[in-house]
């Protein structure tokens, strides 16, 4: 259970960082 929670939180963190990067790129360009 703990490993699954860790993977899910990691996945959400990766998706969040990806969205943040895309938003920053939109602001830059």
Residue-wise pLDDT tens digits, 1-29: 679 999 999 999 999 998 988 888 777 65
pLDDT of residue 21: 85
* Distances, alpha carbon 5 to alpha carbons 17, 19, 20, 26, in Å: 18, 21, 22, 32
pLDDT of residue 10: 94
pLDDT of residue 4: 92
**In whole angstroms, what is the distance from residue 19 CA to residue 1 CA?**
27
pLDDT of residue 29: 59
Radius of gyration of the chain (CA): 13
The secondary structure element, H or E, covering residue 2 is: helix 2-28
pTM for the predicted model, two decimal places: 0.51
pLDDT of residue 8: 93
């Amino acid at each position: 259970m703990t490993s699954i929670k860790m993977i899910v939180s990691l996945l959400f963190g990766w998706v969040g960082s990806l969205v943040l990067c895309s938003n920053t790129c939109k602001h830059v360009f």
